[in-house]
Amino acid sequence: MFSKGLPHFASGVVIKGFGRGSKQLGIPTANFPESVVDSLPQELNTGVYYGWANVDGGPVYKMVMSIGWNPYYKNTKKSMETHILHTFPDDFYGSLLRVCLLGYIRPERDFQSLDDLIAAIKADIVVADEALEKSEMLQYKQDDFFHTNNVEDLCR
Ligand code: ADP
Ligand code: MG
């Protein structure tokens, strides 16, 4: 049912991204530190994923995540950028972000225009929104991982 390497659980403190202006596009993406990216299973391809996420042990929301080559490091390192399908009143840099990746949507792509990029991300959000309603996906929303205080349990 799940692709190789999935489900994947990860957590880490939200850091500043590369200021590509995601928020200005209406699609802010929270970035993980390098150590979290380095812990990704080898078999996970770059591209767009969907799953669940929460901030500082709060409510669990749907998310889409882009795993891509990080331009800041001349594309030698990966980055993980999570857009949570929820409107937060404030930024949450420095907070603990927990994610559970469940499904793969599409490979990384280069877009001809900003409009094409925005349209693709909106389509990704629709795919994620629907896929996560399936019972086998919904069950992960309740996972202890999102609320445990035991750091040992955080990454599986
Ligand atoms: P950066 O380049 O620093 O990643 P972005 O424009 O991508 O800047 O904005 C990301 C930040 O926006 C996150 O680190 C977080 O603090 C905040 N944020 C607010 N709402 C969301 C959301 N729904 N999903 C992800 N990040 C959000
Ligand atoms: Mg970002």
pTM for the structure as a whole? 0.94
Q: Which pLDDT tens digit goes with each residue over 58-104?
A: 999 999 999 998 766 777 888 999 999 999 999 999 999 999 999 99
Question: Could you tell me which of 128, 101, 109, 129 has the C-alpha nearest to residue 43?
Answer: 101
Query: What pLDDT digit, counting tens, does each position of 92-146 carry?
Result: 999 999 999 999 999 988 888 888 888 999 999 999 999 999 999 999 999 999 9
Q: How far is Cα 107 from Cα 156, in angstroms, rounded to an integer?
A: 24
Ligand 1 environment, Cβ below 6 A: 14, 16-20, 22-23, 28-31, 82-84, 86, 88, 91-93
Nearest one of 69, 33, 64 to 48, comparing CA atoms: 64
**CA 102 to ligand 1 center in whole angstroms:** 21
pLDDT of residue 72: 67
Can you spell out the DSSP letters for 102-124?
EEEEE-----SSHHHHHHHHHHH
Instruction: Look at ligand 1, atom 4, and give the residue with the nearest C-alpha.
Output: 17
Q: Where are the domains of the chain?
A: 8-144
104 CA from centroid of ligand 1 (Å): 21
Secondary-structure class of domain 8-144 per CATH: mainly beta
* Residue 4 CA to ligand 1 centre (angstroms): 28
